[in-house]
Amino acid sequence: MNYLFDLDGLLINSEELYYKANWRFFKEKGMELAVEEYRKIIGKRYEEWVESLGITGVTGREIQVATDKIFFEMAEHELKLMPGVEEVMNYCRAMGKTALITSSNSEEVRNIFNLLPIEGWFSEIITGEDVTNAKPNPEGYLLAAKRLGVKTSECVVFEDAPNGVEAGKRAGCKVVAVPSFLVKGENGFLTADYCVDSIEKSLYYLLNSCF
């Protein structure tokens, strides 16, 4: 098998930091960004935020630039790998090909790699700039499989958000859902082949040849 990974909230604790960064940005604008509202926009591009949240007076790009600045100020001291990630990646790299599929742009991904040297874990890296359609569209996972030279039926997707789970299933992959703290309990995870509390616990399914 081959293994396709999301990034934010799955491999690293960035979802928590991104929420804090966005909360600070909207607070400065006199707006409250409740967790419930943030859940609606997780995994979407910033341009979609403006429409989803009914924001006026600011563009998606302006939100992105401002929140990225706040995020990376925090990330220098607070960004870390999620528990069990190294063990899972060591297994997957030994058993097949690996790819990273994220809606973040290449500059954001590069900044993450500068803080956490994990780029070498992946044979291919697909960013938001490589696709026309964001998750839940399967384009990113289809492109990853194509670049790896494998069939999607030979791939296992690891995702922490409903949009990513849907994208993986629509691509024809097996999907392991690891819901982030922001979206636990959502119905979108019901279509995943397996759902676990942490990526660390996915080792059980990997080691027991469930794919």
Positions annotated as catalytic residues are 6, 8
Strands 174-177 and 155-159, by their bridges, are parallel
The answer to whether 102 and 11 are in contact (CB under 8 A) is: no
Greatest CA separation found in the chain?
53
Q: Where are the alpha helices (DSSP H) in 79-125?
A: 85-95, 106-115
Segments of the chain assigned E as strands: 2-5, 98-101, 124-126, 155-159, 174-177, 194-195
Collapse the DSSP code of 86 into the 3-class scheme (helix H, G, I; strand E, B; otherwise coil) and give the result.
helix
